[in-house]
Amino acid sequence: MHGLLVAAIICALVSGPEKIIPRPASYRTGEKTFVYDGKVKEVKASRSFARQVDKLGIPDFARDEAYALEVTPKGVTINALTDKGLFRGRTSLDMMLEYGDTLRCCSILDWPRFAHRGLLLDESRHFRGKDYILKELDQMSKLKMSVLHLHFTDGAGWRFQTEKYPLLATRGGWRIGDTYKQWEYYGYNFGCEGDGYSYGGYFTKDDLREIVKYASERYITVVPEIEMPGHSIEVVKTYPETACLAPDGSRVMNHSVCPGSEATFELFQAVIDEVVDIFPGKYIHIGGDECNKSAWRNCPACRRRMEEKGIKDVNGLQSYLVQRMERYVNSKGRSIIGWDEILEGGLAPNATVMSWRGTAGGKQAVAMDHDVIMVPTSRCYLDYYQDAPVFEPEAIGSAYLPCERVYSYDPGRDFSEQDIHHVLGLQGNLWCEFIPTVAKAEYMLYPRAFAIAEIGWSPQEVRDWKEFRPRAIDYIEVIKSHGYNAFDLSAEKGNRDEMYKRLDHLAKGRPLTFNKPYDKGYHGSWDVTLNDGLFGSWEFPDDRWLGFRDGVDVTIDLGEVKDLHYVGGSFWAHAPEAICPPEKVEVWLSDDGNDWHLAGYRIREIPDAAKDIMVVELTVPLVDKGRYVRFKALRRDLPECKLMFLDEVIVL
C-alpha cells in the first residue's frame, strides 16, 4: 500500500505534454522521466526536420511555427525551421515545467491549424494602460496566440496620441463619467486632460512602440483599430468639421463622422500616417460596424458626394468611405480589416472581413474570394456571462457564453476544403463597457482565452472538451500563482437546472392558440415553444424562450374537462434590456371555450427597475376544473418594459 501511495505521488509530480494548452498536434509519451537541468539543445533548419515537415504537408503559414520537442533520459531537444518555431517549442517546454521539473519522456510534433489566433482588448471603453497590455501579452505568448487586436479608438475614448490632431487624445480621451454608463447618462460628453473631473488616459507613442516591440519578441502581431465611420463621437466632438451638417447648417453630434466632408478624410489619413509609423504589421483595422447613417440622408455634403460619385444610397456612401480609406492604407503598403458591415454597399477590393454577426458575413466574403477572420458573437465574445448570470458580476446584455460553448466552436466547419485557405483564423473579443478593472478583464478572459487559443492552434480532430477541461482547471491555478485573476472553472454552476428537465404536464403537446401574437424576432421554437415540456436555459434568447411585445394571452385545449391544481410559467427579467416580467398573470377556465371564469391570479412582487437578471416564476394554485385553460400575462405600458419572455405554460 505504501508503494502504491509513493507511486501515485511521483506520478502527480511528473509533467508531460498532456498538460500543454493548446494541445499539441501530436505527441507520444514513454515511461521514463528526466529531471530538467536548465539546458535545451536547439536545432534550427535541419534537413531531417525539413523533410519531416514536407512529408506531413504542413501549410506554408504553419511551417514557421512548427517544432518538434523531444525529452529523453539524457535531455531536451527542440527542432524547428525558424526562430519562431524554436520559440513555440520552448513555450511548450515552459508550460510543462509549470507543473514541476520532472518531465515525462516524450516526443512532440506540433504546428498551428490557423495563422490568426487572436484576442481583442478594448481600451477605449475603459483605459488600463501599457502595463496591463504587456501583462496580457505574456499570457497570450504562453498560449501560442499570434495577434493582439488593440481596440483603442471608439466613441468612449480615443487612446492614441497623435501629433497633427492632438485633441483626439487630450480631449477625446477624457470623458465625463468614470464608467461607460455614467458617460451615457451625462450625454456622451468629454472634458479635457488635467481638468480634475474627467476620466481617461491614452497611450503615448513611446508606450505603443514598447508594446509593439514586446509583442514582436513573443511573435505576436499588434493590429491597431481606428474606428470609422461609426463609433466616432469622440472625433466629431473634438473636431466638429468631421461631423455632418443638418439642413439648418448646424453640426450633427452623433456617433458617425461625415463621409461627405473632406475634413473627415484628412483627419483619418493623417492618423493612418502615424499608425503605420508605429505598427509594422500587415493589417490596419478600420472598424466599419454599427454605423448610424441617419444624418447622412439629410446632410448637404453627403448628398453632394452621392451625386458626384453616382452613389445610390447611404450604404453605398459607407462603401465609398471604406474603399477610399483602403486605397490610402494600401498606398502605405498595408491592408485593411473591417467588421462584416463593410460588405454593405460593396466590399473594398482587398479587404479582410472580420465576421462577428454570426458566420454569414464570413461565408459571403469567402464567396467573393476574400480572407476572413471568424469572431461570431455566439462563440467568441468574451464580455458575455460565462456562468449562470444570476451569480456573476455584471456583463453586457444577458448573453451566456460558458467556456464549453466557446470550446465547441470550429471556425472551419462552414467552409469547404477549397475555401478553407481564406479562413485566417479566429479571435476572442473582450469588449469592456462593463469591465472597468484589470481584475475583471482577466476574470472574463481566462479560461475562455485558453479555449480560443486551442481552437486556433490544435487540429480539430484532437480537441475534446472532457479532456480540455481538467487541463484548463490546472492551468487556471498556474496563472493565479503568477498574479492573474481567473474564473474558477472547477466551481462552475453551469446552465439553468430547469433546462435539463423534461416535464410531462397536462398542457404538453395539446392544441395551443395565441390570442396575442409572439414576436417573430424572438420566436423560440415557434408555436410549440410554450407547451413542449422544455424549460429555458441561460443561453438567452435560445429556442426555448418565446418573446412577446404586448403581453401573453394563450388558450390551451386539454381535450376534456380535467381537475386542475396549478397553472404558471417562468419569465425572463432584465430591466437594462427593457425585458420585464408581467405585472400580473391570470388563469381563466372554461368547459366549452365560450363561458369563462377567472380561476385565479398572481401579482408579481419585484420592482420594474430591478437591474439584475432573474427568472421570475408566477404561478397560480387552483382547486378547479376545466377543459380550456386561458393563460394571460399582463404588462404595464411603460417605456422601460418593451419585451416579455416566457418558456413554458405548465398545467397540472
Judgement on whether residues 481 and 542 belong to the same structural domain of the protein: no
Judgement on whether residues 479 and 394 belong to the same structural domain of the protein: yes
Per-residue pLDDT averaged across 469-496, rounded?
97
Taking the CA atoms of the chain, what radius of gyration do you get in angstroms?
A: 28
- Give the separation between CA 441 and CA 445, rounded to whole angstroms: 6
Residue 549 lies in a domain: yes
Residue 69 lies in a domain: yes
Nine-digit cell at 137?
Answer: 501579452
The pLDDT tens digits of the residues spanning 72-125 come to: 999 999 999 999 999 999 999 999 999 999 999 999 999 999 999 999 999 999
The pLDDT tens digits of the residues spanning 348-399 come to: 889 999 999 999 999 999 999 999 999 999 999 999 999 999 899 999 988 9
Per-residue pLDDT averaged across 585-596, rounded?
97
Our count of domains for the chain comes to: 3
Residue 398 lies in a domain: yes
In this prediction, residue 639 carries a pLDDT of 75
Identified catalytic residue from 231, 255, 370, 422 = 231
Annotated catalytic residue 31 = no
Residue 288 lies in a domain: no
In this prediction, residue 576 carries a pLDDT of 85
Judgement on whether residues 446 and 535 belong to the same structural domain of the protein: no
Residue 609 has pLDDT above 70, yes or no: no
Annotated catalytic residue 421 = no
Residue 21 lies in a domain: yes
- Give the separation between CA 498 and CA 535, rounded to whole angstroms: 6
DSSP reduced 3-state for 194:
coil
Give Cα separations from 42 to 28, 45, 68, 492 (angstroms).
Answer: 20, 10, 10, 41
Give the dihedral of Cα atoms 59, 60, 63, 65; nearest 10 deg: -90
Residue 2 has pLDDT above 70, yes or no: no
Judgement on whether residues 507 and 611 belong to the same structural domain of the protein: yes
Judgement on whether residues 543 and 647 belong to the same structural domain of the protein: yes
Mind giving me the DSSP string for 528-542?
GGGGSSB---SSSS-
607 prior amide bond cis, ω within 30? no
- Give the separation between CA 98 and CA 22, rounded to whole angstroms: 14
The pLDDT tens digits of the residues spanning 536-569 come to: 999 888 899 999 999 999 999 999 999 999 999 9
Per-residue pLDDT averaged across 422-437, rounded?
97
* pLDDT tier, 12 (very low <50, low <70, confident <90, very high otherwise): low
Burial of residue 557, with CB atoms counted within 10 A of its CB: 0-12 exposed, 13-18 middle, 19 or more buried: middle
Identified catalytic residue from 122, 123, 154, 387 = 154
Q: How many Cβ atoms from other residues are within 10 Å of residue 239's Cβ?
A: 19
Per-residue pLDDT averaged across 36-44, rounded?
97
Judgement on whether residues 128 and 103 belong to the same structural domain of the protein: no
Judgement on whether residues 372 and 516 belong to the same structural domain of the protein: no
For 57: left if phi > 0, alpha if psi spans -120 to 50, otherwise beta; the answer is left
Please give the single-letter amino acid code of residue 149.
H
In this prediction, residue 584 carries a pLDDT of 95
Residue 388 lies in a domain: yes
What percentage of the chain carries pLDDT values higher than 70? 98
In this prediction, residue 10 carries a pLDDT of 42
CATH for 18:
3.30.379.10
Instruction: Look at residues 456, 490, 524 and tell me which one is the last residue of a structural domain.
Output: 490
Per-residue pLDDT averaged across 426-439, rounded?
97
Which phi and psi angles does 66 have, rounded to 5°? -70, 145
In this prediction, residue 352 carries a pLDDT of 97
CATH for 483:
3.20.20.80
Judgement on whether residues 523 and 619 belong to the same structural domain of the protein: yes
Residue 4 has pLDDT above 50, yes or no: no
Map grid coordinates 475583471 to a residue: 440
Judgement on whether residues 506 and 638 belong to the same structural domain of the protein: yes
Give Cα separations from 265 to 262, 277, 302, 396, 425 (angstroms).
Answer: 5, 18, 13, 33, 31
* pLDDT tier, 405 (very low <50, low <70, confident <90, very high otherwise): very high
Per-residue pLDDT averaged across 191-202, rounded?
96
* pLDDT tier, 475 (very low <50, low <70, confident <90, very high otherwise): very high
* pLDDT tier, 137 (very low <50, low <70, confident <90, very high otherwise): very high
Residue 1 has pLDDT above 50, yes or no: no
- Give the separation between CA 487 and CA 473, rounded to whole angstroms: 10
Per-residue pLDDT averaged across 490-500, rounded?
93
Domain that holds residue 559: 497-651
Per-residue pLDDT averaged across 146-173, rounded?
97
In this prediction, residue 640 carries a pLDDT of 78
Angle (CA) 28-32-35 rounded to 5° is: 105
Identified catalytic residue from 54, 290, 467, 612 = 290
Residue ranges of E strands in 229-343:
244-245, 251-252, 283-287, 335-339
Residue 30 lies in a domain: yes
Judgement on whether residues 486 and 504 belong to the same structural domain of the protein: no
Nine-digit cell at 627?
Answer: 377543459
In this prediction, residue 176 carries a pLDDT of 97
CATH for 522:
2.60.120.260
Annotated catalytic residue 326 = no
What is the rounded average pLDDT for all residues in the chain? 95
Residue 607 has pLDDT above 80, yes or no: no
Instruction: Look at residues 465, 490, 515 and tell me which one is the last residue of a structural domain.
Output: 490
Mind giving me the DSSP string for 436-501?
-SHHHHHHHHTTHHHHHHHHHHS-GGG--HHHHHHHHHHHHHHHHHTT-----GGG---S-GGGG-
Per-residue pLDDT averaged across 128-142, rounded?
98
Judgement on whether residues 462 and 520 belong to the same structural domain of the protein: no
Give the dihedral of Cα atoms 453, 457, 460, 464; nearest 10 deg: -50
Judgement on whether residues 546 and 646 belong to the same structural domain of the protein: yes
The pLDDT tens digits of the residues spanning 288-327 come to: 999 999 999 999 999 999 999 999 999 999 999 999 999 9
Instruction: Look at residues 490, 519, 548 and tell me which one is the last residue of a structural domain.
Output: 490
Residue 208 lies in a domain: no
Q: How far is CA 6 from the centre of its chain?
A: 45
Give Cα separations from 250 to 245, 291, 300, 303 (angstroms).
Answer: 6, 20, 11, 16
